[in-house]
Amino acid sequence: MKTTPNYGLKLPGENDFYSVGDFNDNFNAVDAALTAAKEYANKKVASIHVPVKSVNNKTGDVRLTAA
């Protein structure tokens, strides 16, 4: 069975039998990759502090946080 080059997701051929297990494996791989990307981004954002003094004529410190 062919796989995608970046994440190794399973690519069934046109004549392959559909497998729920392959489908679930692909979604688990995507879920793990997205979770890792989110955790990486959250670590990067946590260390950023930009002391903005005003935005659209509103004053005060603005703190950016990850959602």
Query: Angle at the Cα of 51 (from 45 to 52), degrees rounded to 5?
Result: 105
Domain containing 15: what range?
A: 2-62
* 42 within a domain of the structure (yes/no): yes
- pTM strictly above 0.75: no
38 falls within a domain: yes
For 33-62, how does the pLDDT look when each residue is reduced to its tens digit (9 = 90+)?
A: 999 999 999 999 888 887 777 777 767 666
Spell out where the chain has E strands. 2-3, 10-11, 52-55, 58-62
Number of domains in the chain: 1
pLDDT in tens, 6-28: 999 999 999 999 899 999 999 99
Q: Is residue 67 part of a domain?
A: no
